Amino acid sequence: HLGGLNDQLQFADGLAVPRYQHALMPTDTILRDLCSKLGLQDELIYQNARAGFVHNDAIHPMSNILDFLSFPMLGLRDRFRLGRMILLTRGKSNWNDLDRLSAKEWLLQVGGNEAFERVWRPLLEAKFDGVYDNVSATYIWAWLNRMSSVGQVPQLSNTIGYLKRGHFSLIEALANAFLKAGGQIKYDVRVREIEVQNGQFQQVRTSEGTLEFDSLVVAVATPIFAQLLPAPYPDYHARLEKSKYLGLICPVLVLDRPLSNFWTLNLTDPAYPFATIIQTPHAEKSGHYIVYLPRYTAPDNDWMGVSDEDIGVAWFSHLKKIFPAFSEDQVIHFAVSRSRYAEPIHSVNMLQNKLDVQTPYTGLYLANTAQVYPFLATSEVTVSHARQVAQAVQAHHPHPVSVAV
């Protein structure tokens, strides 16, 4: 089955929505160029990127300088201190010194205790399931630079983009282009083990037998790769096991009316079961609005085993605290998606622990979003990384060979 985190949900009435929300920022030129090459340029649409915070169940806009100056969660002095920190971050191109600092250490240094306690600590607790002490300061640097890109392209200022049919249309177009070029895609085949011998990749053992290739690019989360690979090199496996990920539980609602006029709202109360509210109109069904209520968790968090029905009860009861007029009668569709390894965690001193694309085994490559550090694992960065991986493999194999991904 194609898609993964870029998959779509198909409801009984034929309506399709992206399983997870993926946004294009105005500066995502690599992704827009790929869409154009695949004939998807007319499917790119843009909407207002109005953002805000939810604090004490009340919404506070945070989309422009006036919103910032009137932000009630901080006093005037701390507002200016926070603004100075954001400006310094946007102008900081050398991030290497941040690799050695935790996010908490750096935020306290440059933003002060008040801003940390009122703004950053709740956001970090919600994002990292309460465990953020070892998260690198580069995460904040990358996140602030990513979000500030909304206003950096004049003709697309203060907008975010997305594909009408979601990122699944991009995956589908890539698959069709791959097949047209002579590639093959195998569906419903479970990989059981990657066999190596004498420091070299040999073959892939699957539910349908063994498959042989000259080279193999493994494009899965690092913990899954570690499970598939035998351990003749203990040092390498020890490095694989250091790679930590966030899981994701993401309820999606299709409503018959908008919840608000905000694209995204960040919650500062970690007691809520979700940390963000993201809303977009359905691009092909007028009068339908898609709302995502994601919760990042540890991969083994108990919420992973909670039923969709119980998640709906918990999430809806908290949603009503922010939007008292919301009721279940407005819900046309409801579904819950889960991923145990949705996003890599970039820890302090990540530079020395970052895994190379080339593994210790000749002919075996690892390619995943843990390698895009210090940047966030966005679609833009992922496509750029994929191109670099393809070039690296091609450099090792200048003549035509069989390569599996």
- Which region among 71-85, 339-353, 368-382 has the lowest average model confidence (pLDDT)? 71-85
Burial class (CB in 10 A: 0-12, 13-18, 19+), 52: buried
Check whether residue 255 and residue 329 sit in a common domain: yes
Residue 59 lies in a domain: no
Q: Are residues 372 and 233 in the same domain?
A: yes
Question: What CATH number corresponds to the domain at position 207?
Answer: 3.50.50.60
Percent of the chain with pLDDT over 90: 68
Q: Which of 105, 124, 151 is the last residue before a domain boundary?
A: 151
Query: Do 240 and 360 fall into the same domain?
Result: yes
Residues 251 and 206 in one domain: no
154 pLDDT above the threshold of 50: no
Does 329 score more than 90 pLDDT? yes
Compute the distance between CA of residue 195 and CA of residue 228 in angstroms, rounded to an integer. 9
Q: Which CATH number belongs to the domain containing residue 131 in this structure?
A: 1.10.3110
Query: pLDDT tens digits for 25-34?
Result: 888 999 999 9
Q: Tell me if 116 is assigned to some domain.
A: yes
Single residue among 297, 322, 344 that ends a domain in this structure: 344
Check whether residue 320 and residue 352 sit in a common domain. Answer: no
In a shared domain, residues 162 and 276? yes
Edge-to-edge strand ranges of the sheet holding 209-211? 191-197, 200-206, 209-211
CATH number of 337's domain: 3.90.660.20
Domain count, the chain: 3
pLDDT tier, 153 (very low <50, low <70, confident <90, very high otherwise): very low
Identify the domain containing residue 227 by its residue range.
186-244+346-404
**295, exposed or middle or buried, with CB in 10 Å at 0-12, 13-18, 19+?**
buried
Residues 378 and 267 both lie in one domain:
no
What is the average per-residue pLDDT within 333-356? 94
Evaluate whether residue 271 is within a structural domain: yes
Alpha-carbon dihedral angle through residues 44, 218, 336, 311, given to the nearest 10 degrees: -140
For residue 1, the model assigns a pLDDT of 72
Distance CA 219, CA 55 (A): 39
Using alpha carbons only, how large is the chain's radius of gyration in Å?
22
Same domain for 95 and 222, yes or no, is no
Instruction: Look at residue 174 and tell me if it is in a domain.
Output: no
Looking at the fold, whether 310 and 353 belong to one and the same domain comes out as no
- Please state the pTM of the whole predicted model: 0.92
250 with 162, same domain? yes
Give residue 400's pLDDT.
Answer: 58
Element (H, E) at 393: helix 379-396
Is 173 part of a structural domain of the chain? no
68 and 36, same domain (yes or no): no
> Residue 99: inside a domain, yes or no?
yes
255 and 337 assigned to the same domain: yes
Asked if residue 273 belongs to a domain, the reply is yes
Greater confidence (233 vs 372) lies with 372
3-state secondary structure of 397: coil
Q: What is the mean pLDDT of residues 144-170?
A: 78
What angle, 0 to 180 degrees and rounded to 10, lies between the N-to-C axes of helices 138-148 and 103-111? 60
Q: Is residue 120 part of a domain?
A: yes
